[in-house]
Amino acid sequence: MKINNFLWCTFIPLLLAGCIPSTKILEDIQLVQTFGYDYVNDDEFEGTAGSSNIPPGEQSLPVNEVFTATGKTGKRIRQKMQGEAARPIVVGRVGLVIFNQELAEHGIENQIDSLQRNPSIGRKLLLVVSKEKAKDIIDSNYSQSDSVSQYLIDVVEQNLKQTIPEINLHRFLVHYYSKDADPFLPLIEKQGKHLKVSGLGIFKDDKLVDTISFGDAYIFKILYEKFRRGQFEVELSGGEDVSLENLSSKTKISVEKKNGKYKTTFKVKVSGRAMEGVNLDLTDKKTIERIEKAVEKEITERAEKMVKRFQELDADPLRIGEKARQRSDFNRKEWKEQYSQMEIKIEAEVHAVQSGIIE
């Protein structure tokens, strides 16, 4: 009996040895780290894969290598790329996917679908919309020592933490498939030898409908999620500039329904340090209050303007609909009808905590 068990345990796995996954040895594959999609015409699109070749040696710098192909499907494009690659192309380490603005305006459903179906692609994948052609962004040199793909990923990743709301494939899909919210993506553009995050692209379903500026993206971030870092600059009534170092911000969305009419309130709480007021006496309580008032006004005005714009587009990237759905008397049909005319109030409450280390 004992021998029997041993045989089972040892030889059955050996028989299964034919079922093993194929080996992909790290240096024998072409790792794609960024991927870009460009608009060609309504049927076809152009795909660009950015990868790097790393020559042997400890101090060797990676060499940028770009593959481009045009086709009707992602699979076809990949096949064409494989034709010119020395090693098998794998997509398991893609960190950034760039959609050209023109393509995004025509809809990115096709590309998103193939991304979310690929099991080797992680859910933390970053998606961005670019003003230029995605190919131009991937196939160029930047003033940095790392590989191009790594540089692009680092720029976007860093901005997601500091200045624009955090978004990745997973969150995009949540918004995309939700009936009560619309997705948004960061907007990037190339400026000389640098890549720059320049705002947010607002989507309605899978189509890009609007872009908002970098400054507004920060307001968007305050309304969208709570966070701890960042800076805010306002001009006081006297003409002085004051910057507020954000310590923490928190937003509460509340949706009310009275007589079948919806009403939404954003309660924004920001507390920050007042810094860099050149001609101001920051130790004075009155000055601090003045700053608080000014920032409150600034946030309220800009946020209201932004929300109004979203209502005009009938897009809901701030997922107010998701919040409204939590009500037991939620009626999706009524909500859709009312969304663009609904009253949305912004209530900002700013608290300037400190004025620096010297008092």
Partner 1 sequence: MGFFKSKLKRFNRDNKQKKNENSEHELRIDELLHRCKESTDFVSYRYSESCPFYIHYYQTIVDINILHQYILPYVKDNASKTLFDLQQAIPIDNTEIIDNVHEIRDKLLTGCVVIEVKGSLQEALVISAVSLEKRPVSLPEVEYSVVGPKEAFVESLDANINLVRKRLPIPDLIVEEVKVGSLTKTRVAVLYIEGVADKENVNTVLQRLNDIEFDQVVDSSFINQIISDNHKSPFPHLIDTERPDRVASVLSEGKITIIVDGSPHALTGPTTLVEFFSAFEDYFLSWHIASIFRLVRLFAVFFSVLSTSLYVAVLTYHYEMIPENLLNPLIASRSGIPFPPILEAIILELTIELLREAGARLPTKIGQTIGIVGGIVIGTAAVQAGLTSNVLLIIVALAALASFTTPVYQMGNTIRLIRFPFLITAQLWGLLGVTFCFAYILSHLLKMTSLGRPYLAPVYPLRLNDLRDSLFRLPFFMQTKRPLQVRSPFPARFQSKGHKKPKRDIED
> Which spans of this chain sit near partner 1 (rule: CB under 8 A)?
9, 13, 17, 20-21, 23-27, 29, 31, 33, 52, 54-58, 60, 62, 90, 92-93, 95, 120, 122, 147, 150, 153
| CA-based max dimension of the chain | 93
Question: Do residues 41 and 70 lie in contact, with contact meaning Cβ atoms separated by under 8 Å?
Answer: no
Distance in angstroms between the alpha carbons of the first and the last residue of the chain: 84
Q: Which lies closer to partner 1 via its Cβ, residue 62 or residue 107?
A: 62
In the complex, minimum distance from the CB of residue 246 to partner 1, in angstroms, rounded to a whole number: 28
Contact in structure between 165 and 47 (CB atoms under 8 Å): no
Closer by beta carbon to partner 1, 155 or else 295: 155
- SS3 assignment, position 238: coil
Nearer to partner 1, 24 or 194 (CB): 24
Minimum Å gap between C-beta 88 and partner 1 is: 11
By beta-carbon proximity to partner 1, the closer residue of 9 and 358 is 9
Nearer residue to partner 1 within complex by CB, 150 or 178? 150
Give the nearest distance from C-beta 329 to partner 1 in angstroms.
Answer: 46
Task: Extract long-range pairs of 318-322: CB within 8 Å, 24+ residues apart.
Answer: 318/220, 318/223, 318/224, 318/253, 319/175, 319/178, 319/180, 319/181, 320/253, 320/255, 320/264, 320/344, 321/178, 321/179, 321/180, 321/181, 322/178, 322/180, 322/181
For the CB of residue 55, give the shortest distance to partner 1 in the complex, in Å: 7
Q: From the CB of 162, what's the least distance to partner 1, in Å?
A: 19
Nearest to 91 by CA among 53, 119, 126: 119
In the bound state with partner 1, the residue whose beta carbon lies nearer, of 20 and 357, is 20
Min CB(60)–partner 1 separation in Å: 6
Rg (CA), the chain: 25
d(CA 180, CA 177): 9
Specify the DSSP element, H or E, that contains 216.
Answer: helix 214-224
Minimum separation from the CB atom of position 270 to partner 1 (A): 33
**Residue placing its CB nearer to partner 1 in the complex, 2 or 258:** 2
Q: Are 268 and 303 in contact (CB under 8 A)?
A: yes
Q: How many CB atoms lie within 10 A of CB 159?
A: 20
